[in-house]
A and B are shown apart, each in its own frame.
Chain A
Amino acid sequence: MEPVIELDGLEVRFGPRVILKKLKAALTGRSVGLLGPNGAGKSTLINTLLGFHKPSAGTARILGRDIRTHAREVRSLIGYMPENDSYIAGMTGVHMVRLMAELAGLPPEHALERAHEAFFYVGLGEVRYRAIGTYSLGMKQAAKLAQAIAHGPKLLFLDEPTNGLDPPARARMIQLIQEIRDRGDLHLLLSSHLLRDVEDCCDQVLILKDGNVAAFCNLEEERRANRRFLELETRGEHNGDFLTAVQALGCETAPGAQGRIKLVMPDGLEVRSLYEIAAGQNVQIRRLNHKRDSLEDIFLKAMESPDGRL
């Protein structure tokens, strides 16, 4: 599969400071999460891919186009939702989105039509003729998303899209991002501090720390693996027999205190079989959880490594 974003020894310096340190990665996912603590280089990476910063060494390719030699073409493929409050003062929401679509190359009449569509799509249809400076924070975030998608990009950069949103607004934003992702027309790069946002929206994740790639993993594979990883809480007198029986089915087990058991099921084994064995052994399964905190584990592990590399 051709990478959506390919980082080829990408290095960015601001004066003597090295911000991105020869990054190498091939991001192939439909939606890629970009994680990292403050100062890790997430925004610098996005800004470099957009051509705002010049790489001091190496390069990157977006959908096969080199950002050094085809910067304009690259930007025509991208929709960008910046992290900061960004708008054009004195303009109504729909006019700003129309202007942005025209600058991306759409003829005025198409730009106007798509600006209206984008505004309705992000849920701001009723306020599209209000000056954008008067919007609430949540509305401004949605307007930024509208201007990023109005021209129909192939790749969408979302820099902290849920920043400052209250829970319902955040849920709405995540739902929009998931909807855009699931249509399959474009790729997403979502930069966030919030593991939950990335987990909800992304199938691949790139974790940066101190300008290095600290981890790069496929969340879809992790999720599949996690579906085999269970945590049980049991009650009964024959826990030992239950353990022996599930081990005989090929499960790897790790017993804990008070009837808690962690186990990894082999492929082909269904959870129902565990209940059947438990019933046969007269053991109650009081709680059964699929492992859920995989991204957090990956993130924490990446943050623990001293040089930012796994």
Chain B
Amino acid sequence: MAVYKKTYRPYEGELTPGWSRFLVIPRYAFVEFRGKRFLSIFFFLSFIYPLICALIIYVQHNASALNLLGVQGARSLISINVTFFMSLLGWQSMLALFLASFIGPGQVSPDLANNALSLYLARPFSRVEYVLGKMSVLVILMSLMTWVPGLLCFGLQGYLEGWQWMRDNARLAGGIFFGAWIWILLLALLALALSAWVKWKPAAGGLMFGVFFVSAAFGAVINGVQRTRWGNLFNISHLVGVVWVQLFEGSNRTTNGAVFFRVVQGEELPLWTCWAALGVLSLVCLFMLARKIRGAEVVR
């Protein structure tokens, strides 16, 4: 029967499992994402740095390539070590911040502005699933930019260097994976929370940068005026940097973080306070989301 001749009829067919329904949201979001040229180009350009890193790793292990380029001594100039991988993750994480600032504000605010939440939540679909669905859009894209290329480079280095190198440097893989996840979750929560409270997308995007740069400046002012280091509690990249150094190197520190996440020696906060501050920030974001993600707004 032609579709236009059909009348209303109940649905008797199979249903998808309840746990998988939050994945519907990223599927639709990626279709929309593909249609945005600027974001697509930005996303693909973000792989340049990992590609360069992969090339360096390859060339480092290819004597004929080094001879061909006439840089036989390059092997000693660039070391594939903790600094190399931390720099890779640092650059990629900074790009992830840009991506979250571009995409994040468009996640929740249009649904709030157009009362779409009542449509989502009137289905067998909870607020948690809605947030998970929206978060997964950011998490998947930022994962592809951060820990996925990071681990691929690590795998390439391990493949070329040998199993023993991999075993000796397993901590690096953990640092890349867990360090990136901490950053990704923090960015995703922050982006969604700001998107839920600031309905104007450019303002929400700007505020995302503001949270990082203005709060870091505020922290620096506190440090300067009070002659303390506790102002760094307001500097999110400092908090993440301290955690990263711990994840990558444990107690045998040889670096002071990566680009944007650099920790000035002598100004480090105790590790537990960094974890606690990041935890509090995440809880604040979750609280902000819980207040706004509702099927119907309550006017008290």
Contact = CB atoms under 8 A, between A and B. Distances in A.
B24 A103 contact: yes
Contacts of B162: none
Given A47-B296, A99-B24, A105-B16, A78 B122 contact: yes
Contacts of B12: 152
B8 A110 contact: no
A82 B119 contact: yes
A106 B13 contact: yes
Contacts of A84: 115, 118
A125 B111 CA distance: 25
B300 interface: yes
Contact of B116 (A52, A87, A151, A179): A87
Contact of B124 (A43, A72, A95, A113): A72
B115 A86 contact: yes
A183 interface: yes
Interface centre among B7, B122, B295 (most CB of A within 10 A): B122
B299 A102 contact: no
A208 B290 CA distance: 31
B287 interface: no
Interface stretch (A26-34, A114-122, A231-239): A114-122
- What class of interface size applies to chain B in its complex with A? 35 or more
A14 B296 contact: no
A185 B116 contact: no
A179 B8 CA distance: 9
A118 B7 CA distance: 8
B126 A85 contact: no
B119 A110 contact: no
A259 interface: no
B160 to A, nearest CB: 42
Given A85-B114, A120-B6, A185-B8, A51 B295 contact: yes
Interface residues of A, number: 54
B110 A76 contact: no
A139 interface: no
B16 A15 contact: no
B118 A86 contact: yes
Given A14-B300, A50-B122, A105-B18, A95 B28 contact: yes
Interface centre among B4, B10, B18, B124 (most CB of A within 10 A): B124
Nearest to B7: A121
A168 B18 CA distance: 40
Contacts of A114: 11
Nearest to A17: B300
A99 B16 contact: no
Contacts of A100: 119-120, 123
A117 B115 contact: no
B116 A88 contact: yes
B124 A75 contact: yes
Interface string A56-99: 00000000000000001101101010101111111100010001
A76 B124 contact: yes
A154 B12 CA distance: 11
B14 interface: yes
B168 interface: no
A51 B16 CA distance: 22
Interface in B241-300: 294-296, 298-300
Interface centre among B3, B16, B119 (most CB of A within 10 A): B119
A107 interface: yes
Given A106-B13, A183-B8, A53 B3 contact: no
A105 B21 contact: yes
Contacts of A90: 32, 110
14 contacts: A72-B126, A78-B122, A84-B118, A86-B118, A87-B115, A100-B123, A105-B21, A106-B11, A106-B15, A110-B13, A114-B11, A116-B3, A120-B6, A179-B8
Given A82-B122, A105-B16, A105-B18, 19 more contacts: A51-B295, A53-B298, A72-B124, A75-B123, A75-B124, A85-B114, A87-B114, A102-B16, A103-B124, A106-B16, A110-B13, A113-B3, A117-B6, A120-B3, A121-B6, A152-B9, A152-B10, A154-B10, A183-B7
Which 4 pairs show the lowest CB-CB distances between chains A and B? A152-B11, A52-B295, A105-B15, A80-B122
Interface of A: 14-15, 17, 43, 47, 50-53, 72-73, 75-76, 78, 80, 82, 84-91, 95, 99-100, 102-107, 110, 113-114, 116-118, 120-121, 125, 133, 147, 149, 151-152, 154, 157, 179-180, 183, 185-186
